[in-house]
Amino acid sequence: MSDSGAGTTDGTGPKTGVDAGTADRKSTGSDLAVHLDGITKRFPGVVANDDVDLRVERGTVHALLGENGAGKTTLMNVLYGLYEPEEGRVVVDGEDRSFGSPRDAIDAGIGMIHQHFMLVDPMTVAENIALGNEPTKWFGMAVDRERIDREIRDLCDRYGFDVDPDATIEDVSVGVQQRVEILKALFRGAEVLILDEPTAVLTPQEVEGLYEVLEELTDQGKTIIFITHKLEEATHAADAITVLRDGKSVGTVDPGGTSRKELAERMVGREVLLEAESEPAEAGDVVLSADDVTVRDARDIEVVSEIDLDVRAGEILGIAGVDGNGQAELVEAITGLETPDEGTITYDGTDITEWSRRQRIEQGMAYIPEDRHERGLVMPFDLVENGVLGSQRSPRFATSGRIDWPGVRDHTEEIIETYDVRPPDADADAQSLSGGNQQKFIVGREFERDPSLVVATHPTRGVDIGSTEFIHERLLDLRREGVAILLVSSNLEEVQALSDRLAVIYEGEFIDVTTPEDVTEEELGLLMAGQRPDQRDAAGSVGGDDR
Amino acid sequence: MSDLVSKRTAGAAAALTVVWIVVGLLAPDSWPGVLLSIAASPNTHTATLRLAVPIALAAIGGIFAEKSGVINIGIEGLLIVSGFSSIVATYWLGSGSTTLGLSNHWWGLVVGVLISVLFALLFAVVCIEFKADQIIAGLAVWLIALGLAPFVSRIVFGSPNATTMGTFKPVTVPVLSEIPILGYLLFDTPPQVYLMLFGAVAGWYLLFRTSFGRWVVASGENPKALDTAGVDVRKVRYAAVLLSGVFAGLGGAGFALGQLGTFAGGGQTDIAGRGFIAIATYLLANYHPIGALLGSFLFAGLNSMQNGLQAAGYAIPTELIRTIPYATVIVVLVFVGRTRLPEAAGEDYESGED
């Protein structure tokens, strides 16, 4: 690791950007760790980056903000040597560079932490950190494990990480895995760290931990570029924000001198409603009801305990809760992926507890699954094939057992256009789309099924704000049309903004059922943490003050 | 849960062994007694070591290929080509004499390994470069070997079976060979047994102590992680598959030159499924080279005991004995279930896919 560290200082020394102050930070621009100058990168049929400039100062956190498909990741892949740009210069530490492979970028002191971690699950933390860069002894005959351990310990001490080098990757939490990725980059002597959507997989507590890590790293002179589509993150953690839209840079701003709304408009290119407006519901008949539903897991532990719920036509019932409190199993029981151990599920007045998926779909149940890779799409299929999934027997697309492919294609192209799926190519494999675009496509397919009941789990997870707004509007449209909607989300803002009634699930039980107007975000947080409403009233004054 | 099952299985096996030994000692003429005397006989032990050679070495080779993500079920074919070509080379150079100061038997070994590596290279190109299905490519290697050996044999020897020639002589290590039991087992034995023992240790070291070993594991578990760490996955996989050719070549040639002294190319050839038993062995050993060595003792031991039983008048059909490794693997996988295939085994990898 030492050889790559030497090349990065280049005489300027560890002068940090902190002393420059917030106001004139842009104008000084003397100590740039990374300067991307007029980068253009084309793919067949798309210009992913169009003459993009990016100036990142040493010792700062620089956010790269943009919607799905705006070209953020492409730009960073150029910097990391995965893509070669058609035009433009990559300047690192004042030197023109041309990276043919990640190896070159690593040697120039650039490290990348990918959204999907590049870790080998059955290997240990230490083995992963050193992978591909193992120091050796005895003329390369053996890995110098003592040295690896020592260097990892040094790095942990220096940056305040608490990571056990001997733990196996598959046994540690996602938050720790991310730290291992950061350590991996530091171990290779990285001075500039690129983090691609680093918070997508983290719990709120882990996100706080990550912010602390970023601060510690920049305090010690490291430079961070992080890719995000979440406004709060950019404004919260970054010293400067560069916004990308449709492959072009639309300027770099100071997070202190801009509002969230302004940023959102820059990002989307038009005015956006950060919160969906919903008029009072006109609820009709009960469409779905669950009665004393109990689900046990493989180890025979109750994960859903005697839950009752009703969803009426034209109503959104929100279920809020920390992931892993039984909402997934409840949804599986309702959608027919699992048969409940006890209780009944009624749909349009019929007992459907024992019905198959096929019967439920035919009855008009749409389902947006939690895991889009596992259950939402067949990854190697193209969008046309994915577009007909679930409707392959419906008379709309199939006659006497044969699928009407031209009809399906038209339908798919409609979904792609309406839901703004990018790239707009019906022949693209599902796996070639980014996560947000996959999600948009699934949402489109399910909403356009003409359902009478929608079960939506985390419908906007990983989706940018422009599309989130659109999905929310469509949900409200469906509600207006009299569709019953069951919305499961761990995003508090989302469930609060959309739901007509709100149930909080904790350890397999509804701990409270309320309406969004009657509960604050703090109270919701406490409910989700398992504090019952009666207890809350007793200890209530703390939560009340914040209103 | 699986811990409990494995404890129970181990307990049951231990209890059965104790019962067998007690009955065997009390009644030496009963069949448990005969079995016990065969199991205790030095002849059985030395035969076990020699019969283990192709299984152990092929298994170690297979571990490297599969750990890197390329399932090489062609090792049966590699054993056949290396065994046969080593005999042909020795025959052409003249059995019993030397070339360039090296015994022609040793030249035979070198040629056998080279031919095996050549076939492994072919397999690697087809799988890694042209992304062929690994199972089908592996079967092809086996089937080609199965046809090629008797065909070439007819040309060279005029019959599917090669001419008989001498085998490697045992190498006796002075002093050490006087140690009871260990002496005759480890220090008074033909060279291919030393090769096997050394190969197992070397395989273990390479896999668990060198950076190459770590790359092999990463290449089979998460090739993308290795790629982004700056290591060329293709090169690692090529190296691992060629290494499987080296190990299988040593196994096949060592077996032919040290044990058979000839090579029957007809039917299933003299290799007779030992490559497939090797695959069962390394699965049983959960990809551990030393474990694979011990596993090969188990299967070779059954084989040599069967020979002993036959000599004692208890004829157990070979075919039945041959099913034991596979049955064992199924039992182990079902009841112990600790064999974990590499995550990316059988999948080809292309850099730059996003």
Q: How confident is the model at residue A245 (pLDDT cuts 50, 70, 90)?
A: confident
- What pLDDT sits at residue B14? 87
Instruction: Please indicate, yes or no, if residue A432 is contained in any of the structural domains.
Output: yes
Q: Check residue A540 and give its pLDDT.
A: 40
CA distances from B213 to A130, A462, A486, B230 (A): 13, 37, 51, 16
Same domain membership, residue A352 and residue A257: no
Question: CA-to-CA distance for A424 and A46, rounded, in angstroms?
Answer: 10
Per-residue confidence (pLDDT) for residue A2, from 0 to 100: 40
Per-residue pLDDT, A545: 38
What's the pLDDT score for residue B338? 67
Question: What pLDDT score was predicted for residue A374?
Answer: 80
| Same-domain status, A336 and A414 | no
Residues A114 and A224 in one domain: yes
pLDDT attached to residue A4? 40
pLDDT category of residue A110 using cuts at 50, 70 and 90: very high
Q: What per-residue confidence (pLDDT) applies to B128?
A: 93
Mean pLDDT of A189-209: 83
Q: How far is CA A37 from CA A53, A54, A75, B172, B315, in A?
A: 5, 7, 11, 73, 82
Q: Has residue B283 been placed in a domain?
A: no
* CA A547/CA B8 separation, integer angstroms: 62
Q: Which of A268, A302, A320 corresponds to the end of one domain? A: A268
Q: Do A119 and B222 touch (CB under 8 A)?
A: yes
What 3-state DSSP class applies to A546?
A: coil
Chains A–B, number of C-beta pairs less than 8 Å apart: 65
Q: From B229, which residue of chain A is nearest by alpha-carbon distance? A: A132
B72: pLDDT strictly greater than 90: yes
Q: Which domain holds residue B159?
A: 56-270
Which pLDDT score is estimated for B196? 96
Q: A274 falls in which pLDDT band (50, 70, 90)?
A: low
In Å, how far are A241, A528, A536, A545 from A522, measured between CA atoms?
29, 10, 11, 10
Mutation test of the interface with chain B: which of A120, A145, A379, choosing the one with the most B Cβ atoms within 10 A?
Answer: A120
Q: How far is CA B196 from the centre of its chain?
A: 9
* pLDDT value of position B67: 96
Can you tell me whether residue A240 is helix, strand or coil?
strand
Domain of A108, CATH number, reads 3.40.50.300
Confirm whether B183 is domain-assigned: yes
- Does a structural domain hold residue B113? yes
Q: Which of A94-98, B178-182, B215-219 has the highest mean pLDDT?
A: B215-219
pLDDT-above-90 percentage for chain A: 37
How much is the pLDDT for A277?
A: 59
- The yes-or-no verdict on residue B116 having pLDDT over 90 is yes
More confident residue, A97 or B118: B118
- Does residue A438 share a domain with residue A462? no
Co-location of A403 and A481 in the same domain = no
Residue B278 lies in a domain: no
Which residue do the tokens 């209103």 mark? A547
Q: Which of the 8 DSSP states describes residue B161?
A: B
What is the rounded average pLDDT of the residues A223-251?
89
pLDDT at A127 over 70: yes
In a domain, A235, yes or no: yes
Cross-chain Cβ contact B211/A134 below 8 Å: yes
pLDDT digits (tens, 9 = 90+) for A42-74: 887 778 899 999 999 999 999 999 887 788 888
Over range A400-411, report the average pLDDT: 90
pLDDT at A544 over 60: no
pLDDT of residue A546: 38
Are A439 and A455 members of one domain?
Answer: no
- In this prediction, residue A410 carries a pLDDT of 93
The reply to whether residue A123 touches residue B218, judged by beta carbons under 8 angstroms, is yes
Rounded average pLDDT over A506-526:
84
Average pLDDT value for chain A: 84
Q: What angle do CA A275, A278, A279 make, to 5 degrees?
A: 150
Interchain CB distance below 8 Å, B225 and A103? no
To the nearest whole percent, how much of chain A has pLDDT over 70? 89
- The DSSP string of A38-82 is EEEEEETTEEEEEEEEEEEETT-EEEEEE-TTSSHHHHHHHHTTS
Task: Give chain B positions within 8 Å (CB) of A142.
Answer: 209-210
Residue at token pair 């020699």: B50
- Answer yes or no: do A435 and A500 share one domain: no
Its domain, for residue A319, covers 286-364+451-545
Nearest alpha-carbon partner for B278 in B20, B84, B78, B129? B78
Chain center to CA of B252: 8
The minimum CA-CA distance between B301 and chain A, rounded to whole Å, is 33
Last residue of a domain, one of A395, A426, A450: A450
Peptide bond into A423 cis (omega under 30): yes
Chain A interface with B: residues with Cβ < 8 Å: 77, 82, 101-103, 106, 112, 114, 118-123, 127-128, 130-134, 136, 140-143, 184
User: Amino acid identity of B18?
Assistant: V
Minimal CA separation from A69 to chain B, in Å: 14
A301 and A295 Cβ atoms separated by less than 8 Å: no
In a domain, A222, yes or no: yes
Interchain proximity B225–A131, CB inside 8 Å: yes
pLDDT at B333: 66
**CB atoms B210 and A184 under 8 Å:** no
Alpha-carbon distance of A492 to A460, in angstroms, equals: 12
Whether the per-residue pLDDT at B213 is higher than 70: the answer is yes
Mean pLDDT confidence for B341-345: 87
Q: Given a cut of 50, is residue A412 above it in pLDDT?
A: yes
A248: which strand partners? A245
Q: Tell me: do A352 and A406 sit in the same domain.
A: no
Residue B49 falls inside a structural domain: no
Listed in sequence order, the residues at least 6 apart from A311 whose beta carbon sits closer than 8 Å to its beta carbon are A286, A287, A288, A289, A317, A453, A484, A485, A486
| Contact yes or no for A120 and B221 at CB 8 A | yes
Q: Residue A134 and residue B209: Cβ atoms within 8 Å? A: no
Q: Total structural domains in chain A?
A: 3
CA torsion, ordered A461, A467, A469, A470, to nearest 10 deg: -120
Give the range among A96-105, A189-198, A517-526 with minimum mean pLDDT: A517-526
- Overall average pLDDT of the A510-523 stretch: 84
Ranges of H-type helices in A301-356: 327-335
CB A93 within 8 A of CB A221: no
> Which amino acid would we find at residue A138?
W
User: Measured between beta carbons, which residues in chain A are less than 8 angstroms from residue B221?
Assistant: 120-123
Q: How far apart are CA A19 and CA A31, in angstroms?
A: 12
Contact between chains at A102 and B340 (C-beta distance less than 8 A): no
Considering only CA atoms, which of A319, A387, A321 is closest in space to residue A530? A321
Q: In the prediction, which pLDDT does A10 show? A: 38
Specify if A371 maps to a domain: no
* Same structural domain, A258 and A324: no
> In the predicted model, what is the mean pLDDT of chain B?
88
The total number of structural domains that make up chain B: 1
Say yes or no: A196 and A314 in one domain: no
Average pLDDT over residues A141-147: 91
How many CA atoms are closer than 13 Å to the CA of B29, on its beta-carbon side? 0
Q: How far apart are CA A508 and CA A529, in angstroms?
A: 13
CB contact under 8 A, A122 and B230: no
B17 domain-assigned: no
Instruction: Give a yes or no: residue A488 inside a domain.
Output: yes
Q: What's the CA gap between A54 and A342, in Å, rounded? A: 58
In chain A, whose CA is at the least distance from the CA of B211?
A143
Give B204 or A495, the one with higher predicted confidence. B204
Do A475 and A339 share a structural domain? yes
Question: What is the structure's pLDDT at A29?
Answer: 46
Grouping H, G, I as helix, E, B as strand and the rest as coil, residue A366 is strand
Q: Is residue A262 part of a domain?
A: yes
Query: Has residue A415 been placed in a domain?
Result: yes
Contact B222 A132 (CB under 8 A): no
Residues of chain B that touch chain A, judged by Cβ-Cβ distance less than 8 Å:
209-211, 214-215, 217-218, 221-222, 224-231, 340, 343, 352, 354
Mean pLDDT of B166-185: 84
Residue B353 — pLDDT band, cuts 50, 70, 90?
very low
Q: Which of B351 and A336 is assigned the larger pLDDT?
A: A336
| Domain endpoint, select from A397, A422, A450 | A450
Identify whether B209 is part of a domain. Answer: yes
Of A106, A120, A130, which is closest to B225 when you measure between CB atoms? A120
User: What is the model's pLDDT at position A460?
Assistant: 85
Residue A26: pLDDT band with limits 50, 70, 90: very low
Residue pair A247/A70 in contact (Cβ under 8 Å)? The answer is yes
Query: At A280, is the pLDDT very low, low, confident or very high (cuts 50, 70, 90)?
Result: low
A471 with A327, same domain: the answer is: yes
Q: Which band of pLDDT confidence, cut at 50, 70 and 90, is reported for residue A332? A: very high
Q: Tell me whether residue A310 is in a domain.
A: yes
The reply to whether B292 falls in a domain is: no
